[in-house]
């Protein structure tokens, strides 16, 4: 399973989200078809752009609950004090991707920042 974790400022567009996902995948030499799901933190559950991107890509959007987000946070590579303050994790995109990809998941690298959106790619532990 390969998951794109998304973090964003409020009010982003679906185009912003899609561009961040595409850029993150390109960084790792992957195609959009490699993705199994999109994930984000529960505090982003009202960001329609994330769900619009999921619909456009025909991928499920997984909402990661706070406990799972915090549990995955220790494995995040990037550290944002703003994210820590507002979301309780050093990286919403990285922790979301890790939590959604399941036990033993690994990040392919640090999050990609593209304007108002961050995207991190994680693979499940059984895919490595």
Number of separate helices (H) and strands (E) present in the chain: 5, 6
Q: What is the pTM of this model?
A: 0.92
Mean pLDDT is lowest, of 14-23, 24-33, 89-98, 100-109, for 89-98
Give domain limits for the chain: 2-127
Q: What is the pLDDT of residues 48-90, one digit of tens each?
A: 999 999 999 999 999 999 999 999 988 888 888 777 777 778 6
| CATH T-level topology, domain 2-127 | Nucleotidyltransferase; domain 5 (3.30.420)
As a whole number, the mean pLDDT across the chain is: 92
Which residues fall within 8 angstroms of residue 14, CB to CB, at 6 or more apart? 48, 49, 52, 53, 56
Integer Cα distance of 112 and 109 in angstroms: 9
What average pLDDT score do residues 11-20 get?
A: 97
Separation CA 85–CA 52 (nearest Å)? 27
């Amino acid at each position: 399973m390969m998951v794109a974790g998304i973090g964003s400022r409020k009010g982003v567009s679906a185009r912003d989200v899609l561009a961040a996902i595409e850029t993150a995948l390109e960084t790792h030499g992957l195609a959009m078809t490699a993705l199994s799901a999109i994930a984000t933190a529960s505090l982003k559950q009202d960001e329609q752009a994330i769900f619009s991107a999921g619909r456009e890509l025909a991928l499920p959007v997984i909402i990661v609950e706070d406990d799972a987000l915090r549990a995955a946070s220790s494995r995040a590579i990037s550290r944002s004090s703003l994210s820590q303050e507002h979301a309780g994790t050093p990286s919403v995109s990285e922790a979301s991707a890790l939590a959604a990809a399941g036990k033993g998941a690994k990040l392919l690298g640090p999050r990609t920042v593209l304007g108002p959106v961050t995207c991190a790619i994680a693979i499940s532990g059984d895919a490595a």
